[in-house]
A = this chain, B = another copy of it.
């Protein structure tokens, strides 16, 4: 995984600038190592006393996506989330506290995908696979108070 300096250098070579907001957003992705939404980022920047208009954040995320630095994906809500572009992986999502984690998932679906392509005359380019359930804390809490939405 390349670091922030390398990213900024690469961008500089292509005529893009190294700004406070750009650096801070990259910092957040490297610090949290988990999917972040525009709202997450706006919140964290505010905490760090970095002023950034929401438009700027949306545009920066779009920019980083187009530069293949981060990737965008969707969970079971209407919020776009982003994370540093890395090897293909999946997520667990707690349906109670909404904690999202990246997980290892060795099993590849390649042979299945070939079959699907054949049976459905469909060229698969990528797939999304997310697991919804309860994180450890919510699972234990659930045992006590039972009600889980």
User: Which positions in A face B, CB cutoff 8 Å?
Assistant: 73-78, 80, 92, 94-95, 101, 103-105, 107, 109, 112-113, 116, 119-136, 139
Give chain A's interface secondary structure class.
strand
Point out the residues of chain B lying under 8 angstroms from A132, CB to CB.
Answer: 124-128
Q: Is the CB of A123 within 8 A of B116?
A: no
Q: Is the CB of B139 within 8 A of A123?
A: yes
Q: Is the CB of A116 within 8 A of B124?
A: no
Q: Is the CB of B116 within 8 A of A122?
A: no
Q: Is the CB of B116 within 8 A of A125?
A: no
Q: Is the CB of B134 within 8 A of A123?
A: yes
Q: Can you list 22 residue pairs at the A/B interface with Cβ under 8 Å?
A: A74-B74, A74-B75, A74-B78, A78-B78, A92-B120, A92-B122, A103-B120, A107-B109, A113-B131, A121-B135, A122-B134, A122-B139, A123-B134, A124-B131, A124-B132, A125-B132, A125-B133, A126-B133, A127-B130, A127-B132, A128-B128, A128-B130
